[in-house]
Amino acid sequence: MTIAVFPGSFDPLTNGHLDLIRRASRLFDQLIVAVGQNTSKASVFTPTERVAFIEANVQDLPNVKVQIESGLTVSFMRQKQATALVRGLRNGTDFEYEQGIAGMNRSLAPEIETVCLLADSQYQFVSSSLLKEVARFGGDLSNLVPPVVAAALVDRLESGRTRD
């Protein structure tokens, strides 16, 4: 059985993330969406909230599991016996960033292969910082995030609360 891990902060979960999850779920026997913490940014949602958002939107994908991870992704992958690391690429900047990470991961765990999926063109411009800015000023997020995420994001940003 081929197990893959799609790691990310998913803060917030976007339709672009969901597209990548759906596409990756067709490539592997099991896909684990690993919800982590971006230590360089303040989170809007807790890891538990992010897991709940993802689980609610992948119920129709029986080979997808969602789990919280901390620490090195390759350590998490070894624990789960995963051999493929899935990453999404929106543009050349993402490629350069992911290339460095893939090199480090290969150095740490040569048995793990990085698989990059190109973002669908309708999501190539979407980033969490842009979404947060649009939500903060009342812009329409309906085509960019699941409805439950849009409502929660607006509510959280209006209240001024963020989570770690």
Residues tagged active-site:
17, 41, 90, 128
Tell whether 25 is in a known binding site: no
Total residue length of the chain: 164
Q: Does 121 show up as a binding residue in the annotation?
A: no
- The amino acid that residue 130 corresponds to is L
Question: Per the annotation, does 85 bind a ligand?
Answer: no
Q: Per the annotation, does 126 bind a ligand?
A: yes
**33 in a known ligand binding site:** no
**DSSP for 57-125, written as a single string:** H-TT-TTEEEEE--S-HHHHHHHHT--EEEEEE-SHHHHHHHHHHHHHHHHH-TT-EEEEEEPPGGGTT
Q: Which residues are annotated as a binding site for ATP?
A: 9-10, 17, 88-90, 98, 123-129
Binding residues for substrate, as ranges, are 9, 41, 73, 87
The annotation places the binding site at 9-10, 17, 41, 73, 87-90, 98, 123-129
